[in-house]
Amino acid sequence: MILHELISYDVLRLIWWALLGVLLIGFALTDGFDLGTGTLLPFVAHSDVERRVVINTIGPVWEGNQVWLILGGGAIFAAWPQLYAVSFSGFYLAMFAILVALILRPVAFKFRSKREEPAWRSRWDWALFVGGFVPALIFGVAMGNVLQGVPFRIEDDMQIFYDGSFFGLLNPYALLAGLVSVAMLVMHGAAWLQLKTSGTVAERARRFGIVAALLTTVLYAVAGVLLAYFVTGYAITGSIDTSGASNPLLKNAVPQGGAWFANYATHPALWVVPALGLAGPVIAALCLAMRRPLAALLAGGVGIAGIVASVGVSMFPFILPSSVNPSASLTVWDSSSSHLTLFIMLVSTVIFMPIILAYTSWVFSVLRGKVDPEAIQDGKGHAY
Protein backbone atom coordinates (compact mmCIF):
# COMPACT_ATOMS: atom_id res chain seq x y z
CA MET A 1 0.00 0.00 0.00
CA ILE A 2 1.23 3.48 -0.84
CA LEU A 3 1.90 5.42 2.39
CA HIS A 4 -0.52 8.27 1.74
CA GLU A 5 -3.36 5.81 1.22
CA LEU A 6 -3.23 4.95 4.92
CA ILE A 7 -5.62 7.85 5.38
CA SER A 8 -8.50 7.98 2.91
CA TYR A 9 -9.08 11.02 0.72
CA ASP A 10 -12.37 11.99 2.37
CA VAL A 11 -10.83 11.81 5.85
CA LEU A 12 -7.88 13.97 4.73
CA ARG A 13 -10.30 16.53 3.32
CA LEU A 14 -12.18 16.60 6.61
CA ILE A 15 -8.94 16.93 8.60
CA TRP A 16 -7.83 19.89 6.50
CA TRP A 17 -11.22 21.56 6.82
CA ALA A 18 -10.82 21.29 10.60
CA LEU A 19 -7.18 22.45 10.47
CA LEU A 20 -8.18 25.51 8.45
CA GLY A 21 -10.63 26.36 11.22
CA VAL A 22 -7.92 25.83 13.84
CA LEU A 23 -5.57 28.20 12.00
CA LEU A 24 -8.26 30.89 11.69
CA ILE A 25 -9.11 30.55 15.37
CA GLY A 26 -5.41 30.64 16.24
CA PHE A 27 -5.04 33.90 14.33
CA ALA A 28 -8.12 35.40 15.99
CA LEU A 29 -6.88 34.43 19.46
CA THR A 30 -3.29 35.60 19.09
CA ASP A 31 -3.11 38.43 16.59
CA GLY A 32 -6.68 39.28 17.61
CA PHE A 33 -5.62 40.92 20.86
CA ASP A 34 -2.93 42.82 18.93
CA LEU A 35 -5.61 44.22 16.62
CA GLY A 36 -7.90 44.97 19.55
CA THR A 37 -5.11 46.72 21.45
CA GLY A 38 -4.26 48.85 18.42
CA THR A 39 -7.93 49.80 18.05
CA LEU A 40 -8.08 50.83 21.71
CA LEU A 41 -4.77 52.73 21.74
CA PRO A 42 -6.08 56.31 21.22
CA PHE A 43 -8.87 55.81 23.75
CA VAL A 44 -7.26 54.04 26.72
CA ALA A 45 -3.94 55.91 26.65
CA HIS A 46 -3.84 59.70 26.72
CA SER A 47 -0.27 60.71 27.61
CA ASP A 48 2.81 59.70 25.67
CA VAL A 49 3.98 57.39 28.47
CA GLU A 50 0.59 55.68 28.61
CA ARG A 51 0.61 55.13 24.88
CA ARG A 52 4.10 53.70 25.01
CA VAL A 53 2.94 51.35 27.75
CA VAL A 54 0.13 50.10 25.49
CA ILE A 55 2.42 49.74 22.49
CA ASN A 56 4.98 47.79 24.50
CA THR A 57 2.38 45.22 25.53
CA ILE A 58 2.13 44.01 21.93
CA GLY A 59 5.36 45.25 20.34
CA PRO A 60 7.42 42.17 21.28
CA VAL A 61 4.80 39.59 20.26
CA TRP A 62 2.85 40.85 17.24
CA GLU A 63 5.24 39.37 14.68
CA GLY A 64 4.99 35.90 16.17
CA ASN A 65 1.21 36.19 16.41
CA GLN A 66 0.95 37.11 12.75
CA VAL A 67 2.49 33.74 11.86
CA TRP A 68 -1.02 32.32 12.21
CA LEU A 69 -2.26 34.56 9.40
CA ILE A 70 0.59 33.39 7.17
CA LEU A 71 -0.13 29.77 8.05
CA GLY A 72 -3.81 30.26 7.27
CA GLY A 73 -3.07 31.83 3.89
CA GLY A 74 -0.55 29.10 3.10
CA ALA A 75 -3.01 26.37 4.07
CA ILE A 76 -5.68 27.86 1.81
CA PHE A 77 -3.21 28.10 -1.07
CA ALA A 78 -1.94 24.53 -0.75
CA ALA A 79 -4.96 22.60 0.55
CA TRP A 80 -7.81 24.53 -1.07
CA PRO A 81 -6.41 26.12 -4.27
CA GLN A 82 -9.81 26.99 -5.75
CA LEU A 83 -10.81 28.73 -2.51
CA TYR A 84 -7.57 30.69 -2.69
CA ALA A 85 -8.20 31.62 -6.34
CA VAL A 86 -11.74 32.88 -5.71
CA SER A 87 -11.23 34.64 -2.39
CA PHE A 88 -7.92 36.34 -3.11
CA SER A 89 -9.07 37.55 -6.53
CA GLY A 90 -12.69 38.39 -5.73
CA PHE A 91 -11.77 40.11 -2.47
CA TYR A 92 -8.68 41.71 -4.00
CA LEU A 93 -9.35 45.31 -2.93
CA ALA A 94 -10.46 44.19 0.52
CA MET A 95 -7.28 42.12 0.89
CA PHE A 96 -5.25 45.09 -0.33
CA ALA A 97 -6.83 47.30 2.34
CA ILE A 98 -5.98 44.70 5.00
CA LEU A 99 -2.38 44.46 3.82
CA VAL A 100 -1.94 48.24 3.80
CA ALA A 101 -3.32 48.40 7.35
CA LEU A 102 -1.09 45.54 8.53
CA ILE A 103 1.96 47.15 6.92
CA LEU A 104 1.20 50.38 8.78
CA ARG A 105 1.57 48.57 12.10
CA PRO A 106 5.28 47.64 11.98
CA VAL A 107 6.12 50.95 10.32
CA ALA A 108 4.37 52.78 13.16
CA PHE A 109 6.17 50.68 15.76
CA LYS A 110 9.55 51.54 14.28
CA PHE A 111 9.03 55.22 13.45
CA ARG A 112 6.81 56.49 16.27
CA SER A 113 9.63 57.20 18.71
CA LYS A 114 12.15 58.46 16.15
CA ARG A 115 11.03 62.01 16.91
CA GLU A 116 9.68 63.54 20.09
CA GLU A 117 7.17 65.96 18.55
CA PRO A 118 3.66 65.21 19.86
CA ALA A 119 2.11 65.68 16.40
CA TRP A 120 4.53 63.16 14.88
CA ARG A 121 3.80 60.54 17.53
CA SER A 122 0.06 61.19 17.40
CA ARG A 123 -0.04 60.49 13.67
CA TRP A 124 1.68 57.14 14.19
CA ASP A 125 -0.67 56.32 17.06
CA TRP A 126 -3.61 56.78 14.73
CA ALA A 127 -1.78 54.64 12.16
CA LEU A 128 -1.70 51.89 14.79
CA PHE A 129 -5.43 52.40 15.30
CA VAL A 130 -6.00 51.94 11.55
CA GLY A 131 -3.73 48.90 11.61
CA GLY A 132 -5.99 47.33 14.23
CA PHE A 133 -9.47 48.51 13.29
CA VAL A 134 -9.41 48.03 9.51
CA PRO A 135 -8.32 44.36 9.47
CA ALA A 136 -10.74 43.53 12.30
CA LEU A 137 -13.61 45.09 10.37
CA ILE A 138 -12.79 43.67 6.94
CA PHE A 139 -12.18 40.12 8.20
CA GLY A 140 -15.68 40.21 9.68
CA VAL A 141 -17.15 41.72 6.53
CA ALA A 142 -15.56 38.90 4.54
CA MET A 143 -17.18 36.29 6.79
CA GLY A 144 -20.54 38.02 6.40
CA ASN A 145 -20.26 37.83 2.64
CA VAL A 146 -19.21 34.18 2.71
CA LEU A 147 -22.35 33.34 4.69
CA GLN A 148 -24.50 35.09 2.07
CA GLY A 149 -22.72 33.58 -0.93
CA VAL A 150 -20.10 35.18 -3.15
CA PRO A 151 -20.88 36.18 -6.78
CA PHE A 152 -18.49 33.91 -8.64
CA ARG A 153 -18.96 31.31 -11.36
CA ILE A 154 -16.87 28.50 -12.79
CA GLU A 155 -16.96 27.72 -16.50
CA ASP A 156 -16.72 24.21 -17.97
CA ASP A 157 -12.99 24.70 -18.59
CA MET A 158 -12.61 25.48 -14.83
CA GLN A 159 -11.94 29.18 -15.36
CA ILE A 160 -13.19 31.17 -12.37
CA PHE A 161 -14.91 34.54 -12.82
CA TYR A 162 -15.87 36.96 -10.06
CA ASP A 163 -18.90 39.10 -10.91
CA GLY A 164 -19.03 41.28 -7.79
CA SER A 165 -17.50 44.60 -6.76
CA PHE A 166 -15.72 45.96 -3.71
CA PHE A 167 -18.63 48.13 -2.62
CA GLY A 168 -20.99 45.21 -3.11
CA LEU A 169 -19.18 43.57 -0.21
CA LEU A 170 -20.29 46.40 2.08
CA ASN A 171 -23.87 45.22 2.42
CA PRO A 172 -25.80 45.53 5.71
CA TYR A 173 -25.37 41.94 6.91
CA ALA A 174 -21.66 41.90 6.08
CA LEU A 175 -21.17 45.19 7.96
CA LEU A 176 -22.99 43.68 10.94
CA ALA A 177 -20.57 40.74 10.82
CA GLY A 178 -17.74 43.28 10.66
CA LEU A 179 -19.01 44.95 13.82
CA VAL A 180 -19.14 41.56 15.55
CA SER A 181 -15.50 41.06 14.61
CA VAL A 182 -14.45 44.51 15.83
CA ALA A 183 -16.33 44.14 19.11
CA MET A 184 -14.91 40.71 19.92
CA LEU A 185 -11.33 41.74 19.14
CA VAL A 186 -11.66 44.95 21.16
CA MET A 187 -12.93 42.78 24.03
CA HIS A 188 -9.89 40.54 23.61
CA GLY A 189 -7.50 43.50 23.43
CA ALA A 190 -9.04 45.09 26.52
CA ALA A 191 -8.58 41.89 28.54
CA TRP A 192 -4.97 41.74 27.34
CA LEU A 193 -4.36 45.35 28.39
CA GLN A 194 -5.88 44.79 31.82
CA LEU A 195 -3.56 41.80 32.20
CA LYS A 196 -0.42 43.60 30.99
CA THR A 197 -0.88 47.13 32.40
CA SER A 198 -1.84 48.78 35.66
CA GLY A 199 -3.37 51.99 36.91
CA THR A 200 -5.36 54.30 34.69
CA VAL A 201 -4.69 52.46 31.43
CA ALA A 202 -5.88 49.16 32.87
CA GLU A 203 -9.00 50.80 34.30
CA ARG A 204 -9.92 52.44 31.01
CA ALA A 205 -9.32 49.16 29.19
CA ARG A 206 -11.56 47.38 31.70
CA ARG A 207 -14.46 49.75 31.03
CA PHE A 208 -14.10 49.53 27.25
CA GLY A 209 -13.74 45.77 27.48
CA ILE A 210 -16.99 45.29 29.40
CA VAL A 211 -18.92 47.29 26.81
CA ALA A 212 -17.22 45.49 23.90
CA ALA A 213 -17.89 42.06 25.44
CA LEU A 214 -21.60 42.75 25.93
CA LEU A 215 -21.82 44.22 22.42
CA THR A 216 -20.18 41.08 21.06
CA THR A 217 -22.88 38.87 22.52
CA VAL A 218 -25.72 41.16 21.41
CA LEU A 219 -24.41 41.68 17.87
CA TYR A 220 -23.61 37.97 17.46
CA ALA A 221 -27.12 37.04 18.60
CA VAL A 222 -28.68 39.54 16.18
CA ALA A 223 -26.50 38.20 13.35
CA GLY A 224 -27.64 34.66 14.19
CA VAL A 225 -31.33 35.59 14.12
CA LEU A 226 -30.91 37.36 10.79
CA LEU A 227 -28.99 34.36 9.45
CA ALA A 228 -31.85 32.06 10.42
CA TYR A 229 -34.71 34.09 9.00
CA PHE A 230 -33.42 36.54 6.41
CA VAL A 231 -30.16 35.22 4.91
CA THR A 232 -30.49 32.53 2.27
CA GLY A 233 -28.24 29.54 2.77
CA TYR A 234 -27.38 26.76 0.35
CA ALA A 235 -27.96 23.02 0.29
CA ILE A 236 -26.67 20.13 -1.83
CA THR A 237 -29.34 18.19 -3.67
CA GLY A 238 -28.65 14.59 -4.46
CA SER A 239 -25.48 12.71 -3.59
CA ILE A 240 -21.87 13.86 -3.66
CA ASP A 241 -18.76 11.69 -3.87
CA THR A 242 -16.70 12.60 -0.80
CA SER A 243 -13.61 10.99 -2.31
CA GLY A 244 -14.23 12.11 -5.86
CA ALA A 245 -12.45 14.52 -8.17
CA SER A 246 -11.96 18.13 -7.13
CA ASN A 247 -14.49 19.50 -9.59
CA PRO A 248 -17.22 21.69 -8.04
CA LEU A 249 -19.36 21.37 -11.19
CA LEU A 250 -20.08 17.68 -10.57
CA LYS A 251 -22.75 18.36 -7.94
CA ASN A 252 -26.08 20.15 -7.69
CA ALA A 253 -26.78 22.81 -5.07
CA VAL A 254 -29.65 25.23 -4.54
CA PRO A 255 -30.41 28.31 -2.41
CA GLN A 256 -32.47 27.40 0.62
CA GLY A 257 -33.75 29.53 3.49
CA GLY A 258 -32.51 28.40 6.88
CA ALA A 259 -30.02 25.97 5.33
CA TRP A 260 -27.20 27.18 7.59
CA PHE A 261 -29.07 25.72 10.59
CA ALA A 262 -29.66 22.27 9.07
CA ASN A 263 -26.51 20.82 10.65
CA TYR A 264 -27.74 21.82 14.11
CA ALA A 265 -31.06 20.06 13.49
CA THR A 266 -29.23 16.92 12.36
CA HIS A 267 -26.63 17.01 15.14
CA PRO A 268 -28.05 18.93 18.16
CA ALA A 269 -24.72 18.60 20.03
CA LEU A 270 -23.33 21.21 17.62
CA TRP A 271 -25.36 23.88 19.41
CA VAL A 272 -22.55 24.00 21.95
CA VAL A 273 -20.44 25.89 19.39
CA PRO A 274 -22.63 29.02 19.03
CA ALA A 275 -23.50 28.71 22.73
CA LEU A 276 -19.82 29.26 23.52
CA GLY A 277 -19.86 32.26 21.20
CA LEU A 278 -22.73 33.76 23.22
CA ALA A 279 -21.61 32.79 26.72
CA GLY A 280 -17.86 33.45 26.42
CA PRO A 281 -18.10 37.24 26.02
CA VAL A 282 -20.65 37.50 28.86
CA ILE A 283 -18.30 35.62 31.18
CA ALA A 284 -15.43 37.79 29.96
CA ALA A 285 -17.44 40.92 30.84
CA LEU A 286 -18.07 39.58 34.35
CA CYS A 287 -14.39 38.73 34.79
CA LEU A 288 -13.38 42.20 33.61
CA ALA A 289 -15.84 43.75 36.05
CA MET A 290 -14.29 41.67 38.85
CA ARG A 291 -10.78 42.63 37.69
CA ARG A 292 -9.84 39.07 36.76
CA PRO A 293 -7.96 39.80 33.49
CA LEU A 294 -6.53 36.32 32.88
CA ALA A 295 -9.94 34.72 33.32
CA ALA A 296 -11.42 37.40 31.06
CA LEU A 297 -8.79 36.72 28.40
CA LEU A 298 -9.49 32.98 28.51
CA ALA A 299 -13.28 33.38 28.54
CA GLY A 300 -13.13 35.87 25.69
CA GLY A 301 -10.89 33.47 23.79
CA VAL A 302 -13.45 30.69 24.20
CA GLY A 303 -16.13 33.05 22.90
CA ILE A 304 -14.02 34.02 19.89
CA ALA A 305 -13.33 30.36 19.12
CA GLY A 306 -17.06 29.65 19.30
CA ILE A 307 -17.95 32.54 17.00
CA VAL A 308 -15.35 31.65 14.37
CA ALA A 309 -16.07 27.93 14.55
CA SER A 310 -19.83 28.48 14.25
CA VAL A 311 -19.34 29.83 10.72
CA GLY A 312 -17.65 26.63 9.58
CA VAL A 313 -20.03 24.34 11.47
CA SER A 314 -23.09 26.11 10.06
CA MET A 315 -21.88 26.00 6.45
CA PHE A 316 -20.39 22.49 6.36
CA PRO A 317 -19.73 21.01 3.84
CA PHE A 318 -19.73 24.35 2.01
CA ILE A 319 -16.55 26.42 2.18
CA LEU A 320 -17.46 29.18 -0.25
CA PRO A 321 -20.97 29.20 -1.71
CA SER A 322 -21.67 30.89 -5.04
CA SER A 323 -24.65 33.23 -5.20
CA VAL A 324 -24.45 33.29 -9.03
CA ASN A 325 -24.37 29.55 -9.64
CA PRO A 326 -24.92 27.57 -6.41
CA SER A 327 -23.83 24.35 -8.10
CA ALA A 328 -20.37 25.89 -8.57
CA SER A 329 -20.02 26.43 -4.82
CA LEU A 330 -16.83 25.15 -3.25
CA THR A 331 -17.25 22.40 -0.68
CA VAL A 332 -15.00 20.26 1.48
CA TRP A 333 -15.51 17.35 -0.92
CA ASP A 334 -14.81 18.93 -4.31
CA SER A 335 -12.31 21.80 -4.04
CA SER A 336 -9.24 20.38 -2.30
CA SER A 337 -5.76 19.53 -3.52
CA SER A 338 -4.83 15.95 -4.38
CA HIS A 339 -4.77 13.07 -1.93
CA LEU A 340 -0.95 13.02 -1.91
CA THR A 341 -0.64 16.79 -1.42
CA LEU A 342 -2.98 16.77 1.57
CA PHE A 343 -1.08 13.86 3.11
CA ILE A 344 2.34 15.51 2.71
CA MET A 345 0.96 18.73 4.21
CA LEU A 346 -0.50 16.80 7.13
CA VAL A 347 2.86 15.16 7.88
CA SER A 348 4.53 18.58 7.77
CA THR A 349 1.88 20.00 10.09
CA VAL A 350 2.32 17.17 12.59
CA ILE A 351 6.05 17.96 12.69
CA PHE A 352 6.05 21.75 12.72
CA MET A 353 2.84 22.72 14.52
CA PRO A 354 4.07 21.48 17.93
CA ILE A 355 7.28 23.47 17.39
CA ILE A 356 5.29 26.64 16.68
CA LEU A 357 3.08 26.07 19.72
CA ALA A 358 6.08 25.37 21.96
CA TYR A 359 7.93 28.47 20.75
CA THR A 360 4.85 30.66 21.16
CA SER A 361 4.28 29.36 24.69
CA TRP A 362 7.93 29.99 25.56
CA VAL A 363 7.79 33.57 24.27
CA PHE A 364 4.69 34.42 26.29
CA SER A 365 6.27 32.80 29.34
CA VAL A 366 9.42 34.91 29.00
CA LEU A 367 7.41 38.09 28.44
CA ARG A 368 4.94 37.50 31.28
CA GLY A 369 4.25 40.32 33.71
CA LYS A 370 3.08 43.89 33.36
CA VAL A 371 4.72 46.67 31.38
CA ASP A 372 6.36 49.09 33.80
CA PRO A 373 5.71 52.82 33.12
CA GLU A 374 8.75 53.80 35.20
CA ALA A 375 11.03 51.68 33.02
CA ILE A 376 9.61 53.40 29.95
CA GLN A 377 10.24 56.84 31.45
CA ASP A 378 13.81 55.82 32.32
CA GLY A 379 14.32 54.47 28.81
CA LYS A 380 15.26 51.03 30.08
CA GLY A 381 13.80 47.62 29.39
CA HIS A 382 11.31 48.45 26.65
CA ALA A 383 11.96 48.81 22.94
CA TYR A 384 9.15 51.15 21.85
pLDDT, one tens digit per residue, over 81-106 is: 999 998 888 888 889 999 999 999 98
Task: Give the span between the Cα atoms of 295 and 282, in whole angstroms.
Answer: 12
Task: Give the span between the Cα atoms of 342 and 333, in whole angstroms.
Answer: 13
What per-residue confidence (pLDDT) applies to 3? 64
Specify the pTM: 0.94
Task: Give the span between the Cα atoms of 330 and 236, in whole angstroms.
Answer: 11
* Domain boundaries along the sequence of the chain: 3-368
> How far does Cα 5 stand from its chain's mean position?
33
Q: What is the DSSP string of 313-332?
A: HHHTTEEE-BSS-GGG-EET
What per-residue confidence (pLDDT) applies to 4? 65
Residues of the chain where predicted confidence (pLDDT) is lower than 50: none
Task: Give the span between the Cα atoms of 250 and 359, in whole angstroms.
Answer: 43
pLDDT, one tens digit per residue, over 178-195 is: 999 999 999 999 999 999
Q: Is 149 helix (H, G, I), strand (E, B) or coil?
A: coil
Residue whose C-alpha is closest to residue 90's, from 140, 199, 186, 165: 165
Q: What are phi and psi of 160, to 5 degrees?
A: -105, 130
